[in-house]
Chains A and B, each alone.
Chain A
């Protein structure tokens, strides 16, 4: 702040005065933009570049062209990660209807409802590291609560996190817990802004229950749904913490997703294959880019209407 004001004061006043409208935004933007370019935009380009090299992080990088990408095509672990990413993307979206359901359930004016709403939101505030820990105890085959319940009904035991076919679903359920809370709060705010006159008018026309929800309420919740969709997609593709805490990618790598597999290849005991890791990251980035482009396009449509 200080250097902006002094530089404005020291330069010749006439010139400053004339160019005020161009100069001010440049100075205000400069620190933020430089920082962002340095730490976010350039690294993206560097990762693209690095994906054409073989590099262990220490010696000289060796240019290998498309070799890393060619290797990805035959990599079974990469394929598994891709499939798991697809599962995450699809199943994570359940957080949106679930959040809407809880929001509808809680959208009342009874005593203490404010406190209930914030307590329902709780899971989102705590760290995913803790969520992962709690859920891995919940699933534990020897003492986990899940198996206590199954045992009570005489259904035997289930080792969710040790079973290659179940493990990803088990972790997604853990992830859905905070994500549903997030969607719920979005919808609670959205429901608050629903036009009461429209609701009353629809009621007079005999609309109620599911019909009312579908034709009157949900269209008005569009902005909330859009944000819920954005944060859920991003959350699904960013999933890393839970996998790292709950299974560390196992058993036999069956719960890896691209973000975790990339980390494993580039920065863990499995070897420092930075170039190969970068290639995985590029694939993940391109998947994300599809969604980012869609988000930006939606925002652009909004902007055109604005000032």
Chain B
């Protein structure tokens, strides 16, 4: 293990380390802590200049109540859910199939197709922006959740295919060959042999894609406008315009907007990290 394990060094250094870690953490998360404190402050604190001090009163319920009951925030949150969840399902389903095809079968152009997905996934959004916006307008899907979902599914399929294909490659190939010898149909091999083994990959991808799509801002701005279909990342900017200089409400709104991926991360931490770090070790 590197660095040298702390328990093998002097007790004084071990104690210092134990104290140092939480201090470093507080410093690291200071911006977030500040927003959390902002969000429970009464508005007088901001007019009297008490920005960074202790809240003069606890107004958490009032502030969050306003966010939930007196703004478009619930609307935006619902939109985000309705965009994110179908995207996750669509992209994961498509990439289970493409990943299976590219990971299991040998055919000409296999690697080429795989590299197409990988390269497409790295492309800057701006090169797609005008044509995709046009396409969405032409299909009558501009400013709809469906328009966003369809694009997200297609784009995320690139990353998901990369992920799934590499995961399937690492599975024991003998399983598939054994099934083939038994004369099992290919789709049955996919459904009954490979898919059950892919559960960890599906879980990891689902949380990752959930976070990516929930936090997407660019496409939300390009393909939607207005509260009826905008997700929360785009909604928070209009929310902030509405409550300009009402820092306590902006903070509460930001925390509400940021919370779902955070919750997802904590609930599915193992899968999330497994997904992000795929390939970081050999």
Binding site for B on A (CB under 8 A): 1, 4-5, 8, 20-26, 28-29, 31-33, 35-36, 38-44, 46-47, 50, 57, 104-111, 113, 116, 118-123, 125-131, 133-135, 137-138, 143, 145, 148, 177, 182, 185-187, 189-194, 196, 199, 208, 212-213, 216-217, 223-224, 227, 230, 234, 237-238, 240-241, 244-245, 258-259, 262-263, 266-267, 274, 277-278, 280-282, 284-285, 288, 291-292, 295-296, 299-300, 303, 306-307
Say whether A143 contacts B51, CB under 8 Å: yes
Number of interface residues of B (CB under 8 A): 100
B29 and A119: CB pair below 8 A?
yes
Residues in B whose Cβ lies below 8 Å from that of A133: 236, 240, 250, 254
Asked if B269 and A20 make an inter-chain contact with CB atoms under 8 angstroms apart, the answer reads no
A28 to B101 CA separation, bound complex (whole angstroms): 6
**In the complex, are the beta carbons of B129 and A267 less than 8 A apart?**
yes
A223 touches B279 (CB 8 A): yes
Determine how close the nearest CB of chain A comes to the CB of B161; give it in whole angstroms.
7
Contact of B211 among A8, A125, A145, A196 (CB under 8 A): A125
The closest CB in chain A to the CB of B20 belongs to A105
Question: How distant is the Cα of A182 from the Cα of B282 in the complex, in angstroms?
Answer: 19
Is A107's CB under 8 angstroms from B3's CB?
yes
A273 to B133, CA, bound (A): 14
Q: Is B25 an interface residue, CB under 8 A from the partner?
A: yes
A50 x B279 contact (CB < 8 A): no
Judge whether B126 and A262 touch: CB under 8 Å: yes
Mind listing 17 A-B residue pairs with CB under 8 Å? A24-B187, A29-B113, A32-B157, A36-B157, A40-B155, A57-B130, A123-B32, A125-B258, A133-B240, A186-B280, A223-B281, A224-B280, A263-B218, A281-B124, A291-B122, A295-B118, A307-B173
Q: How far is it, in angstroms, between the C-alpha of A220 and the C-alpha of B190 when the chains are bound? A: 35
CA distance A237 to B115 in the complex (A): 20
CB distance from B136 to the nearest CB of A (A): 10
Tell whether B175 is near chain A: CB-to-CB under 8 Å. Answer: no
Per the bound structure, the CA–CA distance linking A281 and B131 in Å amounts to 12
Complex: chain B residue closest to A277, CB-CB? B130
Q: Residue on B with the closest CB to A34?
A: B154
Asked if B82 CB lies within 8 Å of chain A CBs, one says no
Beta-carbon contacts of B210-244 to A below 8 Å, as 1s and 0s?
A: 01001101100110000000000100110010000
Complex CA–CA separation, A39 to B194 (angstroms): 28
Identify A31's interface contact among B94, B122, B247, CB under 8 A.
B94
Q: Which residues of B contact A213 (CB under 8 A)?
A: 2
Contact B94 A189 (CB under 8 A): no
Nearest B-chain residue to A55, judged by Cβ: B130
User: With a CB–CB cut-off of 8 A, which chain B residues contact A107?
Assistant: 1-3
Q: Chain B residues with Cβ under 8 A from A127's Cβ?
A: 214-215, 217, 233, 257-258, 261
Q: Taking CB as reference atom, which chain B residue is nearest A5?
A: B187
Tell whether B97 is near chain A: CB-to-CB under 8 Å: yes
CA distance A176 to B29 in the complex (A): 13
**Neighbouring B residues of A110 by C-beta, 8 Å:** 6-7, 14, 17-18, 21
- From the candidates A44, A109, A306, name the one contacting B128 in the complex (CB within 8 A): A44
Q: In the assembled complex, which residues on chain A have CB atoms less than 8 Å from the CB atom of B117?
A: 36
Complex interface bits, B14-55 against A, C-beta within 8 A gives 1, otherwise 0? 100110011011001111101100000000000001011000
Query: Cβ of B105: which chain A residues have Cβ within 8 Å of it?
Result: 21, 24-25
